[in-house]
Chain A
């Protein structure tokens, strides 16, 4: 088991948005084998402000250099200087699963949710898929800089005050891309994810599209929650829940699955197929 006291050194950090930083940490134990959607557990240097470790999605991970980048909000972590060491363990949880047949990926995020999708965009572009990112923010000053995204990504923005892009919530943009997309991936506040999940649940009927993975007239359905079932799901979401222990022990991060079965964000998640969760209980 990975040592739970592993540390990482901050190599550099820079502000990207008001109150948000991207920090690069030298953490070879995390970078090797990490995949998009997984998260790390970061210990605040000042435990009186934050008692628990903070779960932070991996922004990027480079196994060759051992550098992982994390997008974090303010707090003691935002005040770290290059050279400081911080408790950093991971990666935890299960990643996003892209269906090998998917050519068009729709990514939907608001605020810090983009941190969970950034690595997925990199992977998808590298694999030659077409990626569209829909991003929602309160105002233009909070919009994720397009310079931080791969050039190949089509980027559409919605702001609540109309100062940039579409005037309204990001969910307004979804119908225009819904037919184009083979798969969708979302991260952000739980109410947004619930809204997207409810919308996606009726997609097959609206679009009249075939269900991926049912080529030979059906066959046994994949067990819910399995990697293969998730790979075939149209919508996958990365839940943002406080994670207590990240060792699947404390049950503080559990959410309720569609069958009333508790699912741990740190172990069965943080990525779920939208149909796996009981959205009335979750949001």
Chain B
């Protein structure tokens, strides 16, 4: 048998099985998922209509939350910036109509190739990563994805990055007036070239001038995303709000390092930073009167309830979604069950209970 096999030349024996080629890849990106007819026809953010509930929400349970300027989320579970790309990549794996909002990958004026590998280093309960803001640039993002976003019921929040206030303002200017963009989230964790690469989020003055500059060109909901590192995060949050931010989100990744891992600009995310995030969110909520969206290692319903308890009105899921992309959908369902089981009219009865 063996000898017989060996005489046959390699050619005709080559397996002709289908190979997963790039073509298969493209098909996963293209389709725009139409929401079922039960989803509200108008976009959640641009109508003064009553808050839309998810298709599975029971009428007795109110999960809606207003982040300002008419951006109303159907529920407080948010897909945080990063793991969900621009949404289209995960649209067939995640029922986006059942999350409160989708925050896109960080987007810059020009296309960026991103950081050299390695970009990630797993650590206990977290990952250290530096992606270098890889993205195709705001114009390409608009051309490719904005029409799709416009057909979704979930509000899409574009996360905006740049190395200077001018770059960030330019990105926002190009997003102006687009129906598919419900809000922008300014990543104040970006290095500010004007201050030697020190991020906006550690300096109340830099944060305020950036937010004010964006405010002049953007009349829809404006969310300022803060990261830890400032001597007093409360002063940064106050500065951002007085400059015109409608809401604050926190925290972005914590500056970190892994030997042999990613290079400069690396941050730690995942469950390891959750206690830090809880503290930062607690302080911000105490300092400002605007809605606060909490990020930081959320992987289970208990974590969502903790962030609500310290005063956040919405909670994002980031790193944990890498292993379970539909996690925010599942947590939204679990939150609804808890609210119903406790006989509460609204999940807002759970907000801030640890502050009283």
Contact = CB atoms under 8 A, between A and B. Distances in A.
A129 B10 contact: yes
B25 A247 contact: no
A250 B82 CA distance: 6
Interface in B298-326: 299, 319-326
A13 interface: no
A65 interface: no
A52 interface: yes
A262 B134 contact: yes
A58 to B, nearest CB: 13
Given A49-B124, A101-B10, A244 B118 contact: no
A227 B117 contact: no
A11 to B, nearest CB: 23
B19 interface: yes
Interface stretch (B88-96, B334-342, B345-353): B88-96
A100 B11 contact: yes
B83 interface: yes
Contacts of A123: 15
Contacts of A100: 10-11, 14
B93 A260 contact: no
A33 B18 contact: yes
A193 B205 CA distance: 48
**Interface SS, A side:** loop
B325 A4 contact: yes
Contacts of B69: none
Contacts of B118: 241-242
Interface residues of A, number: 54
Given A94-B19, A247-B89, A260 B113 contact: yes
Nearest to A243: B120
Interface stretch (B1-9, B51-59, B192-200, B288-296): B1-9
B127 A51 contact: yes
Of the four ranges (under 10, 10 to 19, 20 to 34, 35 or more), the interface on chain B belongs to 35 or more
A250 B90 CA distance: 10
Contacts of A38: 20
Contacts of B326: 4-5
Interface string A90-125: 010111001011110000000000000000000100
Contacts of B105: 251
B225 interface: no
Contact of B22 (A47, A101, A268): A268
A254 interface: yes
B328 interface: no
> Which one of A91, A94, A245, A253 has the greatest number of beta carbons of chain B within 10 Å?
A245
Nearest to B4: A128
Contacts of B127: 51-52, 242, 244, 252
Given A98-B14, A256-B116, A128 B129 contact: no
B125 interface: yes
B134 A251 contact: yes
Interface in B8-32: 8-11, 13-15, 17-22, 25, 28
Interface string B160-179: 00000000000000000000
Given A47-B299, A52-B323, A227 B19 contact: yes
Nearest to B270: A51
A83 B126 CA distance: 29
A256 B117 contact: yes
Contact of A262 (B5, B11, B114): B114
A96 to B, nearest CB: 10
Interface in A211-263: 225, 227, 241-242, 244-245, 247-256, 260-262
A229 to B, nearest CB: 12
A102 B326 CA distance: 44
B320 A128 contact: no
Contacts of A190: 117
Interface in B102-137: 105, 113-114, 116-122, 124-127, 129, 131, 134
Interface of B: 2, 5-11, 13-15, 17-22, 25, 28, 82-85, 89-90, 92-93, 105, 113-114, 116-122, 124-127, 129, 131, 134, 270-271, 299, 319-326
Interface of A: 1, 4-5, 33, 35, 38, 43, 47-53, 87, 91, 93-95, 98, 100-103, 123, 126-129, 152, 190, 225, 227, 241-242, 244-245, 247-256, 260-262, 267-268, 281-282
22 contacts: A1-B93, A5-B326, A43-B323, A51-B125, A52-B323, A94-B21, A95-B19, A128-B5, A128-B6, A128-B9, A128-B10, A152-B2, A241-B118, A242-B122, A245-B325, A249-B89, A251-B85, A251-B134, A252-B322, A256-B117, A268-B22, A282-B116
